[in-house]
A and B are shown apart, each in its own frame.
Chain A
Amino acid sequence: MGMKESEYWRWKEYNWKDEDADWKDFDIVTAGVDIGSVSSQAVIMGDNELFAYSNMRTGSDSPGSARKAMDWALKDTDMTLDDIRYVIGTGYGRVNVPFANKAITEIACHARGANWMYGPSIRTVLDMGGQDCKAIRCDERGKVTAFLMNDKCAAGTGRGMEVFADLLSVHIEDVGRLSFEIDEEPTPVSSTCVVFAKAEASQLLRQGWPKNKVIAAYSSAMAHRVFTLLERLGVEKEFAITGGIAKNEGVVKRIERELKIEALQTDYDTQIAGAVGGAVFGKTLVEKGKA
């Protein structure tokens, strides 16, 4: 069954390189490798400027995924791994990045990465990944002041949405858009638990609710759940949402509505935030002579 569901969950694997930059002009080249449970990223930065990166699915083993991601980030450059001064491993597989000089938890890296992407005014970051959800508060230097992780329960994660997309046979990319194609906002699904919410949704469908209305009811339940998590931590402006769900405007808009705060936008792919943070950490460590 897991196989079938993944059909509806697709995002592009890709790599990117800054065509205008020459790495030989940089003083310090560092990298961050983020091995998550669903996706992996390798980011190469020169003097804290983004130079090249890759974003791909995590394979069955962390060391292999780390190598692949790194090779792919390096692919269109004329660099080799040896040209990188310092590599930080982060994410769930951080201790299994064979070529990393140091491992740092994803929370610390994520805050640092968000600070880099959104600027020093960022205070609260909500990261909603495929299998987890984390909320981080940080100061103007990207140092964490409080955090909270939620990776035990599928509700409020991409996986929870995936189960729904599968139940309704819609593509995961379309869920956000469809959730607004409704006459009026329905009452949210009352169960938090994905298993019970799914049963509730099936019942609603049988009662004749259109698909989009069910999607809307689930999206707002998910948004509310995340909102209550954020409440525990306290939300301060500026606020941003990263991770796979950041691409689902159906959930994002509803979180913003509850918080009464608009999330900051960025042109960067937010999936690379953790790896960017790792590379930024790397540079700090090199400068401090700790590398």
Chain B
Amino acid sequence: MKVAGIDVGAKFVKVVIVDDGNLVSRSSRLMGFEQKESIEEAFKEALEKAGLKKEDLTHTTATGSGKTEVPFADDEFTEVSAAAKGAVNLIPSARTVIDVGAEEGRAMHTNAKGKVLDFVINERCAAGAGSFTEAMARALEIPLEEIGPLSLKSKKSIPMNAQCVVFAESEVVTLVHQKTPKEDIARAIHDAMASRIISMARRLSIEEDVALVGGLANNVGFVESLRRELNMDVKIPEEPEYVPAYGAALAAASRAGGGS
């Protein structure tokens, strides 16, 4: 049975097609001006890659902040549940799932089936999500992909005081003017971010293993800071940014009666 999961975020739309539990294709599109078009395009691309037609899909489930904007979806699945379900399916030992996307950060405590027991969300403040790192990379005048590896070179932890993206930008500019090594600034940025995410997660009982999903899981600097701050290992699935979409696809499969 073939099903699809669609994750409509503020920045990207991601589509995953799953056939009897196996991932057959995926695609991602930057959210353009016309939301609906971007969604359609990503969906078409995933179908093409899988060599399928719309009619071949038994069920389609949408998640993400724009989940209600998908005209062809059969139903919706909350972001929290989608990320947890996807993560535990890929990393069966995970009991705490941290999901950091561009605009939101969340942490879920789950059971062995990937069902969410408790969760906390940080939303509507860019300082608690991936946008923070993006803005800081810009302030450092380095490409976003480089900020992670750069921070791994740092041996020194320096504090970062600002807790707001706007003020943190000025702080970074000041640090650069003071000739603070960029790698130390990069580490401070990731440390600050990790510390916010973990304090938030501490409202839950953090049970091991901890899994990290979402776009920020691709940032090695952030992952390192997270491990250090948590003092625990953090497991990361492949292509962590597709995990919520994958979770939605798994939900689609079980809703269509195929189990997962």
Contact = CB atoms under 8 A, between A and B. Distances in A.
Say if the two chains contact directly (CB < 8 Å): yes
B135 A195 contact: yes
Interface stretch (B67-75, B159-167, B187-195, B202-210): B159-167
A191 interface: yes
A193 interface: yes
Contacts of B169: 1-2
Nearest to A2: B173
A196 B166 contact: no
Interface string B120-159: 0000111000010001001100000000000000000000
A54 interface: no
A160 interface: yes
B260 interface: no
B170 interface: yes
B79 interface: no
A148 B33 CA distance: 40
A206 B139 contact: no
Secondary structure of the B side of the interface?
Answer: helix
A195 B167 contact: no
Interface stretch (A151-159, A215-223, A264-272): A151-159
B33 A206 contact: yes
A2 B167 CA distance: 10
Given A1-B138, A206-B33, A194 B165 contact: yes
Contact of A152 (B124, B139, B163, B173): B163
B164 A154 contact: yes
B103 interface: yes
B167 A154 contact: yes
State the main secondary structure of chain A at its contact with B.
helix
A163 interface: yes
Contacts of B164: 152-154, 194
Contacts of B139: 1-2
B166 A163 contact: yes
Contact of B166 (A3, A159, A203, A206): A159
A127 B24 CA distance: 58
A193 B125 contact: yes
Contacts of A206: 33
Contacts of A194: 126, 164-166
Contacts of B165: 154, 193-195
A185 B196 CA distance: 38
Contacts of A196: 103, 124, 126, 131
B37 to A, nearest CB: 14
Contacts of A163: 166
Given A152-B164, A154-B164, 5 more contacts: A2-B173, A153-B163, A153-B164, A193-B125, A194-B164
9 contacts: A1-B138, A1-B173, A2-B173, A3-B173, A153-B163, A159-B166, A160-B166, A193-B165, A194-B166
Interface of A: 1-3, 131, 152-154, 159-160, 163, 191-196, 199, 203, 206
Which 4 pairs between the two chains have the least Cβ-Cβ distance?
Answer: A154-B166, A195-B126, A2-B173, A195-B165
